Amino acid sequence: MTATAGPDGVREAAAREVADGRYLAFDAFDDWGIHALATTRAAGTFSSAADEPVGAVLGRWAALQRHLDPSGAGRFASAHQVHGADVVDHLPGWTGWLRAPAADGHLAADRGTAMAVTVADCVPVYVAHRSGAAAMLHAGWRGTAAGILGVAVRRLAALRRPPAELRVLLGPAICGRCYEVSPDVYGQLTGRAVDRPTPVSLHAVLAGQARALGVRDVRATALCTRCDHARHYSHRAGDAGRQLGVLLAAVDG
């Protein structure tokens, strides 16, 4: 499965269905041994606020962990998300599933930590370096306006992973045709004034931010959570369910 990305100058990201269609695997970092996934509606919701038995939701998380790490000896990081710009740093030396109290991004300088964010129209942003240093971000309009991508890119630069050597992948999210925002939100995202609700593409805004930060390789999928509602959960379509964006730099990559 492929889709042509919208923002000018952004490379197309190809995706393939894996695990009986429960997950989409993107090819953006395959040559670096870094795995970028998104779950689908077929996998079920990963929201802790879902109107489903807790055991069913936790079972999906466990199944995903087994898919990523059949040995069960790896690290898996998630967080309670608050639509901000905080990014949690993850060091090696632990195993299991970590859930941070409040953050919208994860960063690991070393390989071996799977990082996940929950989304349903917001953009899962995957950032990686050939060394295996990587960041996984949840970017809704608030996080995008607050500069969460810049937080991660600058932190990686401080680890001697300069922006010009990074790749950014923008995963499945609501497209610019489906996403209309208030004049105030539009102004915060674009710096331009409008006098009525106006459509905006978070992919395009984030791609522009990435280029301004010095990232040369920006990729995206045009899969829209609202247009392709049969495959993805969409908040704007009334879904309470959430899918995940997941990034793992494999140790043997």
Render pLDDT for 21-65 as a digit per residue (tens, 0 to 9): 999 999 999 999 999 999 999 999 999 777 888 899 999 999 999
Q: What is the pLDDT of residue 119?
A: 97
pLDDT for residue 5: 44
What pLDDT score does 7 carry?
A: 56
Position 73 scores a pLDDT of: 81
pLDDT given at position 95: 94
pLDDT for res 72: 82
Domain spans in the chain, listed from the N-terminal domain onward:
11-249
CATH architecture of the domain covering 11-249: 4-Layer Sandwich (3.60)
**pLDDT per position as a tens digit, 72-101:** 889 999 999 999 999 999 999 999 999 999
**DSSP conformation letters of the chain:** -B----STTPEE-BEEEETTTTEEEE-TTGGGTEEEEEE-GGG----TTSSS-HHHHHHHHHHHHHHH-TTS-SEEEEE---SS--EEEE-SS--EEEEESS-SEEEESSTTEEEEEEESSSEEEEEEETTS-EEEEEE-HHHHHHTHHHHHHHHHHHTT--GGGEEEEE-S---TTT-EE-HHHHHHHHS---SS-EE--HHHHHHHHHHHHT--EEEE----TTTTTTTS--TTTT----EEEEEEE-TT-
Give pTM, 2 decimals: 0.95
Residues of the chain with pLDDT under 50: 1-6
